[in-house]
């Protein structure tokens, strides 16, 4: 087990190294960048441009810049944002709580919707209920987020108004400006983005759970449990569901990094000041220290969560041996 973990960690580091090379190569080959903002401005003299290039470390060739970046990042310094001049990690830390709040609430909401619906539609296979929920799930999976988000905003934050003339729900940000913090206000701001994210991702979870549940309830041990004369409730929840949930662990585990990475479209549409939006604006401005920091941390978390899923799997299912 220990050797297995060590080997996997070592592999992960190599993977990360390759990922970082590819990402750095891609980002530095993108045209434009911070210097084009200055080159546009005739007030900036050639001496100014040279000074700024040196300041941002852009006067070295890409491989040299990569090695410098790698050396610094290994010591925990991902460089300073080109636009704010603050450390990239600080920019991320500022937004991390917001993203974790949004994605955490979303994950809980997703599970609260998906688990009961998944179980029920498996148990009531081919009934009206199954057909309706399956259709909705497919719709949810196929909805383009940027379109659906705008639709929600237009309906609930612009068109529908209460008696006081104010829209039902706020359509952007995470707090009403100029008012002291209140939990109600924060929840109101969470409703639209969370509903959208949960609707879209619950669809996937639900479909997964439904098919896994269908597999399980036709297993021999479920029939045995029924034959023993156990009550249906016990058969379903104690014998079938626990086994059916195992594949779900994979899904949840693989979704964990999104607690960090956030949701790019959702955060951008709803002006949620999280990491997805930070990444989006940084990418638009080719602010590559920030872009690299977000991508590398995100990649590391994905690799880690994969590892975590494998370990948890082994713990849940004694038949699986890690070697």
Per CB under 8 A, which of residues 135..194 are in contact with another protein? 153, 155, 157-161, 164-167, 170-179
Phi-psi region of 227 (alpha: psi -120 to 50; beta: other; left: phi over 0): alpha
> What's the min distance (Å) between Cβ of 38 and another protein?
7
Sign of CA dihedral 154, 156, 161, 166: negative
Q: Single out the residue of 179, 151, 153, 165 nearest to residue 272, CA to CA.
A: 153
Number of residues forming the site for another protein (CB under 8 A): 71
Part in contact with another protein (CB under 8 A); list of ranges 18-26, 48-56, 195-203, 207-215: 48-56
Residue 5 binds to another protein (criterion: CB under 8 A): no
195 lies in the binding site for another protein (CB under 8 A): no
Under the binding rule (CB under 8 A), the answer on residue 273 touching another protein is: yes
- Say whether residue 83 binds another protein (CB under 8 A): yes
Please tell me whether residue 126 binds another protein under the rule CB under 8 A: no
List all residues 6 or more positions away from 278 whose beta carbon is below 8 Å from its beta carbon. 91, 92, 95, 290, 294
Over the window 62 to 81, marking each residue x when it contacts another protein by CB under 8 A and - when it does not, the resulting string is: ------------------xx
Interaction between residue 82 and another protein (CB under 8 A): yes
Q: Which is nearer to another protein, 126 or 128 (CB)?
A: 128
Tell me the closest approach of the beta carbon of residue 193 to another protein, in angstroms.
11
Of 3, 41, 142, 323, which lies in the binding site for another protein, with binding defined by CB under 8 A? 41
Q: Is residue 112 a contact point for another protein (CB under 8 A)?
A: no
Regarding 47 and contact with another protein (CB under 8 A), the answer is yes
Give the burial class of 323: count Cβ atoms within 10 A of its Cβ; 0-12 exposed, 13-18 middle, 19 or more buried.
Answer: exposed
Residue from the set 3, 45, 75, 323 that interacts with another protein by CB under 8 A: 45
- For another protein, give the closer residue by CB, 161 or 238: 161
Q: How far is the CB of 250 from another protein (least distance, A)?
A: 27
Show the tokens assigned to 50. Answer: 């040279």
What is the footprint of another protein within residues 274-293 (CB under 8 A)? 274, 277-278, 281, 285-286
- Rg of the chain in Å (alpha carbons): 24
User: Residue 314 half-sphere exposure, CB side, CA atoms within 13 Å?
Assistant: 11
| 140 and 199 Cβ atoms separated by less than 8 Å | yes
| Distance (Å, whole) CA 23 – CA 225 | 53
- How would you class 145 by CB atoms within 10 Å of its CB: exposed for 0-12, middle for 13-18, buried for 19 or more? middle
Our finding on whether 60 is near another protein (CB under 8 A) is no
Q: Which of 3, 14, 40, 220 binds another protein (CB under 8 A)?
A: 40
| Residue 286 beta carbon to another protein: minimum distance, rounded to whole angstroms | 8
Range 207-236, binding another protein (CB under 8 A): none
Contact 122, 207 (CB under 8 A): no
For residue 181, what are the CA distances in angstroms to 174, 178, 187, 268? 10, 9, 11, 22
Q: Which of 20, 66, 91, 111 binds another protein (CB under 8 A)?
A: 91
């Amino acid at each position: 087990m220990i050797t297995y973990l060590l080997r996997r960690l070592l592999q992960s580091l190599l993977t990360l190294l390759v990922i970082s090379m590819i990402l750095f190569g891609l980002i530095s080959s993108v045209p434009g960048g911070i210097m084009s903002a200055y080159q546009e401005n005739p007030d900036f003299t050639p001496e100014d441009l040279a000074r700024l290039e040196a300041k941002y470390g852009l006067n070295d060739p890409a491989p040299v810049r990569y090695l410098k970046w790698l050396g610094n990042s290994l010591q925990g310094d991902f460089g300073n944002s080109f636009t704010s001049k603050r450390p990239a990690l600080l920019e991320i830390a500022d937004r991390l709580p917001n993203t974790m709040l949004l994605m955490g609430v979303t994950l809980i909401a997703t599970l609260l919707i998906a688990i009961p619906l998944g179980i029920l539609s498996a148990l009531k296979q081919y009934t009206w209920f199954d057909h309706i929920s399956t259709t909705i799930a497919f719709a949810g999976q196929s909805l383009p987020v940027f379109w659906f988000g705008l639709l929600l905003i237009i309906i609930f934050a612009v068109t529908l108004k209460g008696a006081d003339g104010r829209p039902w729900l706020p359509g952007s940000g995470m707090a009403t400006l100029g008012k002291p913090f209140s939990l109600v206000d924060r929840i109101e701001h969470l409703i639209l983005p969370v509903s959208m994210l949960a609707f879209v991702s619950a669809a996937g979870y639900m479909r997964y759970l439904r098919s896994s549940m269908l597999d399980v309830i036709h297993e021999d041990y479920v029939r045995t449990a029924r034959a023993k004369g156990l009550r249906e409730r016990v058969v379903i929840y104690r014998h079938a569901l626990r086994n059916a949930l195992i594949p779900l662990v994979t899904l949840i585990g693989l979704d964990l990094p999104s607690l960090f990475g956030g949701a790019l479209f959702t955060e951008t549409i709803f002006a949620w000041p999280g990491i997805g939006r930070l990444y989006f604006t940084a990418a638009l401005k080719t602010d590559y220290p920030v872009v690299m920091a977000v991508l590398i941390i995100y990649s590391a978390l994905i690799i880690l969560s994969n590892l975590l899923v494998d370990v948890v799997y082994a713990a849940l299912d004694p038949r699986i041996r890690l070697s």
